């Protein structure tokens, strides 16, 4: 563990004032109606308006802030990126639609892509002109990414892809998908994987929405049946897919997690307001849990800043491995607290299964400890890779008896 300075400089605070002023001046008129829209379980809200707002941000230089300037970004230091996400969330600005391109694929292409790939895709990500989804999880390989069975074979100047992905966020709205698939037919586990860029609008790709507890369908199944992409659409070398995929997951714990936590704070305020309105805040048990939630949220914020600082300095340690465990359990507990605050009212919905914000919070947060790497997988990673404990025993293939 390393010591890091978690304070903001005068220059950082000046940048904060700039971001806050810009949002106050521009998140008005037609854009003001978008405040608070989008988010987990609510990605369907004002989608076209949020896409237009995302492109408006791009026109004014507020996308891809941490990317190097030569790739279309602003090259801002870590804490100024954090400040932007803090102020963006505090302004209740609409959730952006280009997260996977801007925060995951773009940095991956900067680190591992060819010059041609960077020139082809990065400007369109900066401008939010092309949207991306992530083709990792499969029915038999969720948190266990090394178990993927989707296959691709090189045929002439094209990769031909066959297989299925699942829990693919916003695949129905995406132009491209970055797909981890097996390109070495005789390989197993993390060997023989490749990281392909596959266009979604083609006959060989079928997207089927998955209806969630919230009644919405931002997750999808994606079926590849002879889908094709160019031979040059592999990031890194064929067979390097595991290394590239792990790099992408590293970018996933980027500065946007700070904005996520500011969103959590707004949700906690909503729960607290509900408790004050119906009097449950006078219940000692509820009051204690609200206090614990505030303390837990501050722990999340400080832990995230420490982790990001270590990562930015090239001294990443075990802190990053526990982040998902911390926030997933905190957020799930907040959903349960919300339902205990509203009581029986939480059991009823509006017409056509219309949910209020606290009901959506509770239902969607049930998945927090599962998606993005389940708690069980996260604990195995911490045990084996951080603490150096023996690997968990894995099931063996049954031995076949030799025939007489």
Distances (CA, A) of 256 to 21, 132, 171, 305, 336: 20, 17, 21, 11, 25
Q: Report the alpha-carbon distance of residue 331 to residue 340 in Å, rounded.
A: 14
Q: Are 200 and 220 in contact (CB under 8 A)?
A: no
pLDDT value of position 263: 80
> Quick check: is 252 catalytic?
yes
pLDDT value of position 2: 46
What parts of the chain have a pLDDT lower than 50? Answer: 1-2, 397-404
Quick: pLDDT tens for 204-234.
Answer: 999 999 988 887 888 899 999 999 999 999 9
Q: Which domains does the chain have, with CATH numbers?
A: 10-96 (1.10.540.10), 132-239 (2.40.110.10), 253-386 (1.20.140.10)
From the candidates 18, 45, 221, 252, give the one annotated as an active-site residue.
252
Quick: pLDDT tens for 46-80.
Answer: 899 999 999 999 999 999 999 999 999 999 998 89
**Neighbouring C-alpha atoms within 13 Å toward the C-beta of 153:** 7
Task: Give Cα 372 distance to the centre of its chain.
Answer: 8
Q: Are 218 and 169 in contact (CB under 8 A)?
A: yes
Q: Report the alpha-carbon distance of residue 240 to residue 186 in Å, rounded.
A: 15
pLDDT value of position 247: 84
- Cβ contacts of 403 within 8 Å, gap of 6 or more: none
Task: Give Cα 102 distance to the centre of its chain.
Answer: 11
């Amino acid at each position: 563990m390393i010591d890091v300075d978690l304070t903001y400089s005068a220059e950082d605070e000046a940048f904060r004032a700039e971001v806050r002023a810009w949002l106050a001046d521009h998140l008005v008129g037609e854009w003001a109606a978008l405040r608070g829209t989008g988010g987990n379980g609510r990605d369907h809200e004002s989608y076209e308006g949020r896409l237009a707002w995302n492109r408006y941000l791009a026109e004014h230089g507020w996308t891809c802030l941490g990317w190097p300037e030569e790739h279309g970004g602003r090259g801002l230091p870590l804490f100024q990126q954090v400040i932007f996400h803090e102020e963006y969330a505090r302004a209740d600005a609409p959730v952006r639609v280009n997260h996977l391109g801007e925060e995951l694929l773009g940095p991956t292409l900067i680190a591992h892509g060819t010059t041609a790939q960077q020139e082809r895709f990065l400007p369109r990500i900066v401008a939010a002109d092309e949207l991306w989804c992530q083709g990792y999880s499969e029915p038999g390989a969720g948190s266990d990414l090394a178990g993927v069975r989707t296959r691709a074979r090189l045929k002439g100047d094209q990769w031909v892809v066959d297989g299925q992905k699942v829990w693919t966020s916003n695949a129905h709205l995406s132009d491209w998908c970055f797909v981890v698939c097996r390109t070495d037919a005789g390989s197993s586990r993390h060997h023989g994987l490749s990281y392909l860029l596959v266009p979604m609008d083609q006959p060989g790709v079928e997207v089927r929405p998955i209806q969630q507890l919230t009644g919405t369908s931002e997750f999808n199944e994606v079926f590849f049946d002879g889908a094709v992409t160019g031979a040059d659409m592999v990031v890194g070398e064929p067979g390097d897919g595991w290394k590239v995929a792990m790099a992408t997951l590293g970018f996933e714990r980027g500065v946007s997690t700070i904005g996520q936590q500011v969103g959590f704070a707004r949700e906690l305020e909503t729960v607290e307001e509900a408790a004050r309105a119906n009097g449950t805040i006078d219940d000692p048990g509820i009051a204690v849990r609200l206090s614990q939630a505030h303390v837990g949220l501050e722990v999340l914020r400080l832990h995230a800043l420490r982790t990001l600082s270590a990562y930015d300095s090239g001294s990443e340690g075990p802190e990053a491995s526990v982040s998902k465990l911390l926030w997933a359990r905190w957020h799930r507990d907040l959903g349960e607290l919300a339902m205990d605050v509203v009581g029986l009212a939480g059991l009823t919905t509006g017409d056509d299964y219309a949910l209020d914000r606290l009901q959506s919070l509770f239902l969607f947060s049930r998945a927090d400890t599962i998606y993005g790497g389940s708690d069980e997988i996260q604990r195995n990673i911490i045990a084996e890779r951080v603490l150096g404990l023996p690997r968990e025993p894995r099931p063996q293939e049954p031995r076949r008896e030799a025939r007489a």
